[in-house]
Structure 1
Amino acid sequence: MEYLNKLNKEQRAAAMYTEGPLLILAGAGSGKTSTMTHRIVYMTEEKGIDPYNILAVTFTNKAAKEMKDRVETLIGHGLNSWILTFHSACLRILRSHAEVLGYGRDFAVYDPTDQKTMIKNIIKELGIDAKRYTPSYFLGIISKCKEKPITAEEYTNVYGDDIKAKTVAQVYGMYERALKKNNAMDFDDLLLNTVRLFKKDETVLLKYQNRFRYIMVDEYQDTNRMQYMFIKMLAEAHNNICVVGDDDQCIYQWRGADIRNILEFEKDFKDVKVVKLEQNYRSTSNILGAAHSVISNNRSRKSKKLWTDQDAGNKIVYYRAEDERDEAYFIASEINRMKSSDRKYNDFAILYRTNSQSRTFEEALSRREIPYRVLGGLRYYDRKEIKDITCYLRLVQNKADDLALIRIINEPKRGIGGKTLEKLRTLAAVRQESIFNTLMDREVISSFSSKISSNIESFTELINSYSSEKENLRISDIYDGLLVKSGYLKALEEQNTLEAESRIENLMEFKSVIYNYEDEDPNITLPEFMERIALLAEVDNHDAGENAVVLMTMHSAKGLEFPFVFMPGMEDGLFPGWRAFDREDGLEEERRLCYVGITRAKERLWLTSAERRTLYGKTDYTRESQFLRELDKSLIEGDAIFEKKKRDVGQGVFSDGITEGSSFKPFDQLKYARQQMKKNLEDSSDDLSAGDMVSHPKFGEGKVLSCDGKIVQISFDGDVKKLAVGFAPLKKL
Structure 2
Amino acid sequence: MQFDDVLAGLDPEQREVAEAVRGPVCVLAGAGTGKTRAITHRIAHAVRSGAVEAQSVLAVTFTTRAAGELRQRLRELGTPAVQARTFHAAALRQLTYFWPRVIGGDPPKVIESKLPLLIDACRSVRKNPDRSELRDIASEIEWAKATQIGPEDYAEAARKAGRTPPVPAEEVFRLYDAYETLRRDRHLVDFETILELTAAVMTEHREVATQIRQQYRYFVVDEYQDVNPLQKLLLDTWLGGRDDLCVVGDPNQTIYSFTGATPRYLTGFPVEHPDATVIKLVRDYRSTPQVVSLANRLLDRSRTPHKLALIAQRPDGPEPVFTEYDDEQAEAEGVARAVRALTDSGVPAREIAVLFRVNAQSEAYEQAFANAGVPYLLRGADRFFERPEVRHAVVLLRGAARSAARDDELAPTVHHILSGIGLTPEAPGGGKAREKWESLKALADLAEDLATRGADLAAFVAELERRAGEQHAPPVEGVTLASLHAAKGLEWDAVFLVGVTDGMMPIIYAETPDQIEEERRLLYVGVTRARAHLALSWALARSPGGRRSRKPSRFLDGLTGRSAPQRRTSPSSPSPAERRQVAAPVSCRICGKTLAVAAEQKLGRCATCPADYDEALLESLRAWRTAVAKEAKIPTYVVFTDVTLQAIAERAPTCEQDLLAITGIGRVKLDRYGEAVFALCRAAADRTEDV
> Quick check: TM above 0.5?
yes
Q: Distance in 1 between matches of 2:529 and 2:158?
A: 41
Q: Secondary structure at the match of 1:578?
A: coil
Aligned to 2:372: 368
- Alpha carbons of 1:247 and 1:104: their partners in 2 closer, same or farther (altered >3 Å)? farther
Of 491, 494, 519, the match for 2:462:
519
Aligned to 1:420: none
Output one character per residue of 1:130-154: Cα deviation in whole Å (capped at 9) or x when no partner: 3499422432232122112133455
Residue 358, structure 1, aligned to residue 362, structure 2:
yes
- Alpha carbons of 1:379 and 1:62: their partners in 2 closer, same or farther (altered >3 Å)? closer
Identity rate of aligned residues, in percent?
A: 29
Aligned to 1:82: 83
Q: Secondary structure at the match of 1:605?
A: strand
Of 523, 541, 556, the match for 2:486:
556
Aligned to 2:348: 344
Q: Secondary structure at the match of 1:596?
A: helix
1:591 deviates by: 1.0
Aligned to 1:210: 214
Aligned to 2:538: 609
- Alpha carbons of 1:379 and 1:153: their partners in 2 closer, same or farther (altered >3 Å)? same
Q: Distance in 2 between matches of 1:657 and 1:153?
A: 41
Q: Which amino acid aligns with 1:560?
A: L
Are the aligned partners of 1:628 and 1:641 in contact in 2 as well (CA < 8 Å)?
no
Q: Distance in 2 between matches of 1:103 and 1:302?
A: 48
Output one character per residue of 1:557-597: Cα deviation in whole Å (capped at 9) or x when no partner: 1111000110011111111112221x331111111111110
- Alpha carbons of 1:384 and 1:600: their partners in 2 closer, same or farther (altered >3 Å)? closer
Are the aligned partners of 1:95 and 1:106 in contact in 2 as well (CA < 8 Å)?
yes
Aligned to 1:117: 116
Q: Distance in 2 between matches of 1:206 and 1:103?
A: 19
Q: Which amino acid aligns with 1:606?
A: A
Aligned to 1:598: 527
Residue 36, structure 1, aligned to residue 39, structure 2:
yes
Are the aligned partners of 1:613 and 1:621 in contact in 2 as well (CA < 8 Å)?
no
Are the aligned partners of 2:335 and 2:496 in contact in 1 as well (CA < 8 Å)?
yes
Aligned to 1:628: 556
Are the aligned partners of 1:283 and 1:602 in contact in 2 as well (CA < 8 Å)?
yes
Aligned to 1:53: 56
Are the aligned partners of 1:614 and 1:620 in contact in 2 as well (CA < 8 Å)?
no
Correspondence 1:504-583 to 2 at 5 A: 519=462, 540=471, 543=474, 545-581=475-511, 583=512
Q: Secondary structure at the match of 2:286?
A: coil
1:101 deviates by: 7.6
- Alpha carbons of 1:157 and 1:219: their partners in 2 closer, same or farther (altered >3 Å)? closer
Q: Secondary structure at the match of 1:56?
A: strand
Residue 252, structure 1, aligned to residue 259, structure 2:
no
Of 194, 217, 220, the match for 1:190:
194
Aligned to 2:339: 335
Aligned to 2:609: none
Q: Distance in 2 between matches of 1:185 and 1:93?
A: 14
Segments of structure 1 that go 5 or more residues without pairing to the other structure are 388-474, 477-500, 645-655, 659-663, 679-720, 728-733
Aligned to 1:453: none
Q: Which amino acid aligns with 1:612?
A: A
Output one character per residue of 1:20-55: Cα deviation in whole Å (capped at 9) or x when no partner: 210001100000011011111101111342111101
Q: Distance in 2 between matches of 1:610 and 1:521?
A: 42
Are the aligned partners of 2:125 and 2:174 in contact in 1 as well (CA < 8 Å)?
no
Output one character per residue of 1:668-714: Cα deviation in whole Å (capped at 9) or x when no partner: 69x97998999xxxxxxxxxxxxxxxxxxxxxxxxxxxxxxxxxxxx
- Alpha carbons of 1:279 and 1:335: their partners in 2 closer, same or farther (altered >3 Å)? same
1:5 deviates by: 2.1
1:164 deviates by: 5.1
- Alpha carbons of 1:665 and 1:295: their partners in 2 closer, same or farther (altered >3 Å)? farther
Q: Secondary structure at the match of 2:242?
A: coil
Q: Distance in 2 between matches of 1:180 and 1:385?
A: 38
Q: Distance in 1 between matches of 2:102 and 2:132?
A: 31
- Alpha carbons of 1:353 and 1:208: their partners in 2 closer, same or farther (altered >3 Å)? same
- Alpha carbons of 1:207 and 1:590: their partners in 2 closer, same or farther (altered >3 Å)? same
Correspondence 1:107-256 to 2 at 5 A: 107-112=108-113, 115-131=114-130, 134-152=133-151, 155=154, 167-256=171-260
- Alpha carbons of 1:311 and 1:641: their partners in 2 closer, same or farther (altered >3 Å)? farther
- Alpha carbons of 1:384 and 1:226: their partners in 2 closer, same or farther (altered >3 Å)? farther
Correspondence 1:287-366 to 2 at 5 A: 287-340=291-344, 342-366=346-370
Q: Which amino acid aligns with 1:625?
A: S
Q: Distance in 1 between matches of 2:460 and 2:547?
A: 49
- Alpha carbons of 1:579 and 1:103: their partners in 2 closer, same or farther (altered >3 Å)? farther
TM-score by length of 2: 0.69
Q: Which amino acid aligns with 1:85?
A: T
Are the aligned partners of 1:56 and 1:84 in contact in 2 as well (CA < 8 Å)?
yes
Q: Which amino acid aligns with 1:342?
A: G
- Alpha carbons of 1:91 and 1:521: their partners in 2 closer, same or farther (altered >3 Å)? farther
Are the aligned partners of 1:598 and 1:605 in contact in 2 as well (CA < 8 Å)?
yes
Q: Distance in 2 between matches of 1:100 and 1:38?
A: 37
Q: Which has the larger radius of gyration?
A: 1
Q: Distance in 2 between matches of 1:57 and 1:36?
A: 11
1:121 deviates by: 2.2
Q: Distance in 2 between matches of 1:122 and 1:380?
A: 32
1:165 deviates by: 5.0
Q: Secondary structure at the match of 1:322?
A: strand
Are the aligned partners of 2:255 and 2:519 in contact in 1 as well (CA < 8 Å)?
yes
Are the aligned partners of 1:294 and 1:630 in contact in 2 as well (CA < 8 Å)?
no
Q: Distance in 2 between matches of 1:303 and 1:138?
A: 34
Q: Which amino acid aligns with 1:207?
A: Q
Residue 15, structure 1, aligned to residue 18, structure 2:
yes
Of 510, 516, 521, the match for 1:587:
516
Q: Distance in 1 between matches of 2:459 and 2:379?
A: 22
Are the aligned partners of 2:27 and 2:246 in contact in 1 as well (CA < 8 Å)?
yes
Q: Distance in 2 between matches of 1:101 and 1:154?
A: 30
